[in-house]
Structure 1
Amino acid sequence: MVPANIQDIARRFLNGTATEEEITQLHQWYDAWVDEETLVQADTSEVDIIEARMLSRMLEQIRQPQALPAEVVTLPKRRWWKVAVAAAVLLALGLSLFLWQQQSRGHRGQGELAVTDNAGIQPGIDKALLILADGRQVVLDSTATGIVSKQGNTTIINLDGQLTYEGTASQQETTTYYNTIRTARGNQYQLILPDGSKAWLNAASALRFPTRFTGKERIVELTGEGYFEVAKDQNHPFKVLLPQEIGQEATGAIEVLGTHFNINAYADEGAMKTTLLEGKVRMTSGAQSSDSKAQASVILQPGQQARLINNQLSIINDPDIDAVVAWKNGNFQFTDAPITAVMRQAARWYDVEVEYQGNVQQEVFSGSIPRSASIAQLIKILELTKTVKINIEGRKLIAAPY
């Protein structure tokens, strides 16, 4: 069992109140910790596997009194004793294990890793703004429940963080109404489109769509990031246009019949990425107006990702699917991500600005953290690499070399 005094020190470490002596004691205990149930006959080439199993057992023992869910321990590519003990502390308090693959061995910093929660910076919530066809705006959140509006034969219902469009086809109705749903930074939302397709919107995103689909195609427009589970209808392909801003000409498009896929089209990410989980999609580049000819197209199979950079398409055959859709499942998940990529996600979710001072080392981060974690907990994990120090000034995160 993990000694009670070690658990106390672990919690003080997370709160930033542990002394240097206590931190040293925590590291020494971890280095000497042995779990009889994890001892196996193995040669030295298997030492990392043994260490990972030991950590898994240790985390279970810490977690049991708190009835917290088990987490998967990911095996790193190199040994990580000194950092893993602090990551284990976070795991014990309900966070996922966060591992680092350092390009060079980090040095041990001096002093405490003191980070305090900033009451003004909170994790994101389910909230969005619905813009109706006549320009009226409706704030969607947990308080706006029930019927939001009626447009033609379509009734718009908001319930439990999900917007639903329900209606019946009518030959007498000839008007097509377009709605737009927008999420600000620090918000996310989900909706069921008129054809039954499901869409999830990440922070700082927007989706424009008709209240009923007419014609040969089901066309919507997306900016930011969205995950789709498209209702199957082979006679009416589902098409996602990707403009820089809603209402502008699209520079890319995704065409599907019935499938599950994720689109990341944030302007500051440098690439439009479409990742296919199920079914088949075609991604095209170039202007998407009726009188324009697409420059190129690729067809994706499940497990592939298409990237559009400077109007050039490429296919990635082995993207980390779990990392791609982690946001939809309530997590941050990174695979070999530099600090700048991590901070872009943090900026959108916590609605903060990021500033870099000095030459921040481009360490590679891999691991998972719940998006419900506080900004202080996220900073604590990043600082455990001993390569970056992050200070909070108002709603700005300032990252500098450790």
Structure 2
Amino acid sequence: MRQLIIAELNNEEEEFEDPIVINTMIGRVDQYLQEKLALKPNKMIKLGSNLIKIAAAAVIFIILSCSIYYYLYRSIEKLKSDTATHLNKKDIAPGRNQATLTLADGRQIILTDATEGELARQAGFKITKTKNGQLTYQVTQVSGKDDTSSLNTYNTISTPRGGQYRVNLPDGSKVWLNAASSIKFSAAFNSRNVRKIELTGEAYFEVARLKTKTHSSAANESGSSIPFIVVTGKQEVRVLGTHFNINAYNDEPVTKTTLLEGSVRITGLKNKETVKLKEGEQSGLNNYGIAVSNVNTEQFIAWKNNTFMFEGDNIQAIMRQISRWYNVEVIFKGNISKENFGGKISRLKNLSEILDLIELTGLVHFNVEGRRIIVMP
């Protein structure tokens, strides 16, 4: 049906090139047809999907009917006016690479503004910003001479709301920080027989396997594996070498650990309950304990690939992600839909495009006032 309507529009002298105009117009036609045909929404609403997929014969009849043409063309002028007003408003851009490095001595470096090259030296490490904007720790001193004084001093890397950043740790491990997140680790991170990080917010880890050095003269001989530990406010995750994601935001009801590769052991800090995850599994920790389930891991690392991916998420969960990434306040008013949503949206789009697409479901509507979003039925 959409293709037929667009074909009719293309026959007019005036062109409709703006995707927001087209999407909004088609959305209104869909809504009109839905009301006329008394259609019911599915249990999970697919963002960007065709809302009318039934009654093919009825659709052909309706498209040809005068009432549809009258409704459609009567709406065009109003759509152009509404869209022009919408586009003239200052839109909100998506988040970007930005973070702050706080060194053990208290110095702060705004990584967004820092130039490429060496930023600092401490505890046998050189800290540099690479050409592609990543933060890298490089070992410059093998001796543990400075380690004793550095054991209780820490580096912190934090992202603001609307920020993300990638860090390459001294042991070769890689960390991707999502918005409003931070990691804290010892300035002597690579010099002890344990690698420990404190996490707030969300991060994706690719942990390098590392072994202790033996007293053997053989240069290539190594000892036992050095564990990599991530501590959040509610749990401790212990691994050796693996890929996993942790979502530990304070405003989320459940702390989620998703395993993509290897194995991890999770211990609740409150009740000391312990579980071990296998690839493709996710643990969910709340006040009642830890639950383990099989999940689509792609959904939980989609943010790392600049994508919002929803599978059965309600509007409250979706708006928490949007709030952090676009650095906006979200307020709910009225009886908000309890329907679940599904679909993919690029995190590189401006805020208005994200909200427009969600609105096309007809389940929620938005009013944007500066950096405040009001969600309404």
TM-score, reference length from structure 1: 0.71
Q: Is 1:259 the equivalent of 2:238?
A: no
Provide structure 1 residue ranges, at least 5 long, that are not aligned to the other structure. 29-74, 85-109, 244-250, 288-293
CA contact (8 A) 2:30 2:52 kept: no
Question: Which residue, 174, 177, 181 being the options, matches 2:157?
Answer: 181
Change (3 A) 1:297 1:117: farther
Residue 183 of structure 1 deviates from its aligned partner by 0.3
Match of residue 14 from structure 1: 20
Residue identity in the other structure for 2:195: R
Q: Distance in 2 between matches of 1:199 and 1:308?
A: 22
Q: Deviations over 1:123-167 (max 9, x none)?
A: 000000110101111001265321111113211001222100001
Q: Distance in 1 between matches of 2:311 and 2:192?
A: 41
Residue 393 of structure 1 deviates from its aligned partner by 0.2
Q: Is 1:236 the equivalent of 2:229?
A: no
Match of residue 271 from structure 1: 254
Q: Distance in 1 between matches of 2:16 and 2:342?
A: 22
Q: Distance in 2 between matches of 1:314 and 1:154?
A: 40
Residue identity in the other structure for 1:153: G
Residue identity in the other structure for 1:164: T
Change (3 A) 1:26 1:348: closer
Match of residue 314 from structure 1: 291
Q: Is 1:335 the equivalent of 2:308?
A: no
Q: Distance in 2 between matches of 1:124 and 1:330?
A: 10
Q: Is 1:385 the equivalent of 2:356?
A: no
Match of residue 50 from structure 2: 81
CA contact (8 A) 1:273 1:305 kept: yes
Change (3 A) 1:285 1:379: same
Q: Secondary structure at the match of 2:266?
A: strand
Change (3 A) 1:353 1:26: closer
Q: Distance in 2 between matches of 1:301 and 1:204?
A: 28
Q: Secondary structure at the match of 2:51?
A: helix
Match of residue 164 from structure 1: 136
Residue 295 of structure 1 deviates from its aligned partner by 1.7
Structure having the higher Rg:
2
Q: Distance in 1 between matches of 2:28 and 2:288?
A: 51
Match of residue 207 from structure 1: 183
Provide structure 2 residue ranges, at least 5 long, that are not aligned to the other structure. 34-43, 54-74, 211-223
Q: Distance in 1 between matches of 2:288 and 2:367?
A: 38
Match of residue 55 from structure 1: none
RMSD across aligned positions (CA) = 3.1
Residue 81 of structure 1 deviates from its aligned partner by 3.5
Residue 17 of structure 1 deviates from its aligned partner by 9.8
CA contact (8 A) 2:91 2:351 kept: no
Q: Distance in 1 between matches of 2:301 and 2:282?
A: 12
Match of residue 94 from structure 2: 123
Change (3 A) 1:166 1:383: same
- Identify the range of structure 1 (181-190 vs 355-364) with the bigger mean alpha-carbon deviation: 355-364
Q: Is 1:304 the equivalent of 2:294?
A: no
Residue 82 of structure 1 deviates from its aligned partner by 3.3
Q: Deviations over 1:256-289 (max 9, x none)?
A: 01000000000111111000000000010025xx
Q: Secondary structure at the match of 1:327?
A: helix
TM-score, reference length from structure 2: 0.76
Residue identity in the other structure for 1:230: V
Taking only the aligned residue pairs, the percentage that are identical comes to: 39
